Amino acid sequence: MNRNDLCWCGSGLKYKKCHAAIDERIARYAHEGCDVPIREMLKSRAQIDGIRESGKRNAAVLDEVAARIRPGMTTAEIDRIVDETTRKLGGVPAPLGYQGFPKSVCTSVNDQVCHGIPSEEDVLEEGDIVNVDVSTIFGGFYSDSSRMFLIGQVDPEARRLVEVARECVQRGCEAVKPWGFLSDMARAVSRCAEENGYSIVREIGGHGVGVEFHEDPWVGYTEPAEQGLLLVPGFVFTIEPMVNMGDPDIFCDSDNGWTIYTDDGLPSAQWEVTIAVTDNGYEILAW
């Protein structure tokens, strides 16, 4: 690319004023054998503005769930709240119809790890812990975040699991910085879980996000053997570790092909953020 050409990222700036220095730095890491991001993983300022706008709505949908969730409510009611609130805010729920997913949100209760399908049959009971995983398309941009909710009085053990799962994500975010590595984040997350006696699901991870719902790369959290992808400003992805009270092993419900459960029947907790690598650290675009 010529230094006076318009930058490939679509910023409208000359290449030399935009991604030239970053590209040179990436090339030096690649030369040393590092795993470096491809261009599609690096969002322009305008794309990040779009993902942020999407993420604000995603968080507002979760705020609405937080205000209304209560014992006796079905997970189908949560689905209706998410669908209606998302559309009222001008967005579209990304899960609906995604690879055949039948609802607008994932609701995963107790030993359900993720991808629970909302149902009129599933009533939230006092003592349940539930993950509500919301993903929004707004203005063509995708955001993805989830939170745990405590239903009524929850026993201290399950409450601690929920708190630690949140701390895992917080620590993961704090490990994100430009010219660091994805393994810094993974290590921070897995250490937090292990220090607390918990395990992290190995098979399911986070992902690049923004222009599509699920973009490369796949993002794991278990103690990494390699340094993983180089973190570069403009890289947007999710941190969404599933933290199990017991063993990390899981299975998929063969009846619906979606819902993941813990093998040992013990509870699992998950929080999810959409995060961007910035020039001097990170920005959470949705939580």
- Compute the half-sphere exposure of residue 12: CA atoms within 13 Å on the CB side of its CA: 3
Nearest CB to Co ion, comparing residues 26 and 91: 91
Please state the closest distance from residue 135 (CB atom) to Co ion, in A.
7
Bridge partner list, 93: 136
Task: Out of 64, 122, 144, 184, point to the residue binding ligand MF3 (CB under 6 A).
Answer: 144
Task: Out of 106, 158, 219, 242, point to the residue binding ligand MF3 (CB under 6 A).
Answer: 106
**Can residue 238 be called a binding residue for Co ion (CB under 5 A)?**
yes
d(CA 21, CA 25): 6
Q: Which residue is nearest to ligand MF3 (CB)?
A: 95
Q: Which residues, 218 to 247, sit near ligand MF3 by CB under 6 A?
A: 240
d(CA 115, CA 107): 7
For residues 188-224, b (16+ Cβ closer than 10 Å) or e, as one string? bbbebbeebebbbbeebbbbbbbbebbbebebbbbeb
**Can residue 208 be called a binding residue for ligand MF3 (CB under 6 A)?**
no
d(CA 72, CA 123): 6
Task: Out of 83, 111, 128, 144, point to the residue binding Co ion (CB under 5 A).
Answer: 144
**Can residue 272 be called a binding residue for ligand MF3 (CB under 6 A)?**
yes
Interface size with ligand MF3, residues (CB under 6 A):
11
Please state the closest distance from residue 14 (CB atom) to ligand MF3, in A.
36
**Can residue 108 be called a binding residue for Co ion (CB under 5 A)?**
no
Residue 114 contacts residue 131 (beta carbons within 8 Å): yes
Task: Out of 47, 58, 135, 190, point to the residue binding ligand MF3 (CB under 6 A).
Answer: 135
Judged by the rule CB under 6 A, the positions of this chain that interact with ligand MF3 are 95, 98-99, 101, 106, 115, 133, 135, 144, 240, 272
Judged by the rule CB under 5 A, the positions of this chain that interact with Co ion are 144, 238
